[in-house]
Structure 1
Amino acid sequence: MKQNIIEYCLEKKGAVPTHPFGPESLVIKVEGKMFALIFENIASQPVINLKCDPVIAANLREQYDNVRPGYHMNKKHWNSITLDGSVPEQDIFLMIGHSYDLVVKKLPKSLRESIAESS
């Protein structure tokens, strides 16, 4: 599941993998802005942090036990999802798309246009 999640993130236009926190954590950025952070928790389970609209974030936390406020992130705007199979992969893909869209929407217009034009 983790590899599918990473591949899906990297398919987003302009997505770049980085390791600013060391080799254990993968940060995926678009135009220098993070939209996904993948790491292992203390139980050695893979986790992904994703940006989320606060209202949607609260709904997802109610819907899934393994969607929690973002670990080491702004708890209002980020969720941590444990990748243990309890949250369907397709739902995680939707969450990734939402995170990516939120980040791209905040970029300057010229950067948004250059992402849209890239193939």
Structure 2
Amino acid sequence: MITRETIFKHAKEKYGTSPDYPFQKFPNYAILRHASNKKWYALIMNVLPKKLGLEGNEEIDVLNLKCPPEIIDGLRNGKNILPGYHMDKENWISFVLDRTDPNEEVYNLIEQSFNLTKKE
């Protein structure tokens, strides 16, 4: 399982970014953004599973990342990689963190999202 804390640590070490919590209504929603252009490259939210079409009553952490549209369908598996929650579903995916193995390609996809969003 991967956690929001491990993602924050990775983002700080690799990109020099720390989470930002801009939503007063959702104090646990954390954004990772570029220092230069302030664009988001990742969003971590705590949501109820039913909002994602999943079973369960306890909130789960979800990581949203931007991806090239041509690879999104191949990534989504209905278990831990889903269409981007509350985002453009053609360009974003959501990882259910407690169902994601840290050895999966999530760090490569974070880097890809970082690179896709760094252009102004």
- Shorter-chain TM-score range: 0.7 to 0.9
Identical residues among aligned pairs (%)? 35
Residues 61, 67 of structure 1: 8 Å contact kept? yes
Secondary structure in structure 2 of the residue aligned to 1:100: helix
CA RMSD of aligned residues (A): 1.7
Residue 14 of structure 1: CA displacement? 4.6
The aligned counterpart of 2:23 is 21
Residue 7 of structure 1: CA displacement? 1.1
Structure 2 gaps of 5+ residues are 49-57
**Distance in 2 between residues matched to 1:10 and 1:69, nearest whole Å:** 26
Q: Provide TM-score, normalisation by structure 1.
A: 0.78
Match 1:80 to one of 82, 94, 119? 94
**Distance in 1 between residues matched to 2:59 and 2:96, nearest whole Å:** 10
The structure 1 segments of at least 4 consecutive aligned residues displaced by more than 3 Å after TM superposition are none
**Distance in 2 between residues matched to 1:10 and 1:73, nearest whole Å:** 24
Is 1:95–2:101 an aligned residue pair? no
Residues 47, 80 of structure 1: 8 Å contact kept? yes
